[in-house]
Amino acid sequence: MTQTSTVPHQWIADLLFKGLGELFQTASVIFFAPIFLGWVNLCRSCLQSRRPAGILQPYRDLLKLLRKEVVLATGASPLFRITPYIVFGSMGLAAALVPAVTTDLPFGPAADAIALVGIFSLARIFMALSAMDIGTPFGDMGARREMMIAFLAEPATMMVLFTASLISRSTSLSTIAETLGGRHFTLYPSLVFATTSFFLIILAENSRLPIDNPSTHLELTMIHEAMLLEYSGRHLALMEWGSSIKLLLYFSILISFFLPWGISHESSFGGLLSGFAFLVLKLFILGTLLAILESTLAKLRLFRAPEFLAAAYLLAVIAFLSHFILEV
């Protein structure tokens, strides 16, 4: 920071470049999120011997929905109408915070890991409220289930984030990713547990199998879809887009914490490009893994979901404890 005053134009250029990096990362997360979903769906179709719909199918769906008119349920309050924007907005904000492509994010200091969890919660609460707003039994049921899952998953998420921040001695996402990525290769038992736990959390938080099935509208079991039943047109598009961003972000967190190699540490052009390439590669692998996992798992009964999340919490706690006992 000392040279900032001496060479002002360089400082401005630097900031500009950083801003560009930030913009690049945010935009790429937002715009490429549906592709990731498309890739997972494609893999799933292939594994289940169905004809895949093509990797770009989520875009086509979104475009179709954006073109359609919005039908509002009678009695829908303004809350119902603003929710899609809030959900999409919080996901966009989160996309600016999570170090996916680069860790050199000017927005980074604005919010740390705990605040990030808060941002996700904000979106979820609005989603649940709007589902209840209409007053249909399905919306209500979906909202309640979603909140149950969330309330069980949140402590686990916090424990995982705490573990990661204990190792890197910071709760800032960028710093965590930098410390974990920049270190000499060491095996942390705690990180192994935390990764496993976080993977379980991803499944639960993003309404994937075995907690929820994203591809059915089976009324008895659906959770996430039940909340979106009353949405249409661009509202629905934003909600769907938002959840695909959320999925990508969760995987980005997984990557930046537990597989951080290759992530860019500075906002140089080459760095950004290589960071992006690494991200795509890792997402490609993880997406395939997710698809395989989802094809082999059966959906759990709703009453077994607490067990699933208890396991996640347990793993997170073991991670937390084994940091103290094995690594200090």
* Interface contacts to another protein, rule CB under 8 A: 186-190, 192-193, 306-307, 310-311, 313-315, 317-318, 321-322, 324-328
Q: Pick from 238, 228, 207, 279: which is nearest to 34 by CA? A: 238
Least Å distance between CB 150 and another protein?
A: 16
Residue whose pair of structure tokens reads 């190699």 in the numeric block: 261
User: Residue 33 or 194: which CB sits closer to another protein?
Assistant: 194
Q: What is the smallest separation between the CB atom of 328 and another protein, expressed in angstroms?
A: 6
What is the smallest separation between the CB atom of 205 and another protein, expressed in angstroms? 18
Query: Cβ closer to another protein: 231 or 257?
Result: 257
Distances from the Cα of 226 to the Cα of 47, 66, 85, 109, 203, angstroms:
26, 20, 19, 36, 17
CB 194, min distance to another protein, A = 11
Percent composition of the chain: helix, strand, coil (DSSP 3-state, to 5): 75, 0, 25
Residue with tokens 């005053």: 5
Name the residue nearer to another protein (CB basis): 1 or 187: 187
Least spacing, CB of residue 112 vs another protein, in Å? 23
Is 259 or 315 the residue whose CB approaches another protein more closely?
315
The answer for residues whose C-beta is within 8 angstroms of residue 323's C-beta and 6 or more apart is 163, 166, 167, 188, 190
Nearer residue to another protein within complex by CB, 46 or 192 = 192
Residue 264: beta bridge partners? 102
Cβ proximity to another protein: between 80 and 188 the closer is: 188
CB 92 within 8 A of CB 30: yes
Query: For residue 222, which of 212, 232, 230, 231 has the smallest C-alpha distance?
Result: 212
Task: List C-alpha distances in Å: 128 to 10, 140, 204, 286.
Answer: 47, 8, 16, 29
Whose Cβ is closer to another protein: residue 62's or residue 156's? 156
Smaller CB separation from another protein, 129 or 192: 192
Q: Give the whole-angstrom CA distance, residue 139 versus residue 99.
A: 34
Closest separation in Å from C-beta 296 to another protein: 16
The least distance separating another protein from the CB of residue 278, rounded to whole angstroms, comes to 24
- C-beta separation of 247 from 207 below 8 A: no
Q: CA 273, CA 31: separation in Å to the nearest integer?
A: 16
Contact between residue 297 and residue 290 where contact means Cβ atoms under 8 Å apart: no
Q: CB within 8 A of 87, min separation 6: which ones?
A: 123, 126, 127, 238, 239, 242
Q: What's the min distance (Å) between Cβ of 321 and another protein?
A: 6
Three-state secondary structure call for residue 118: helix
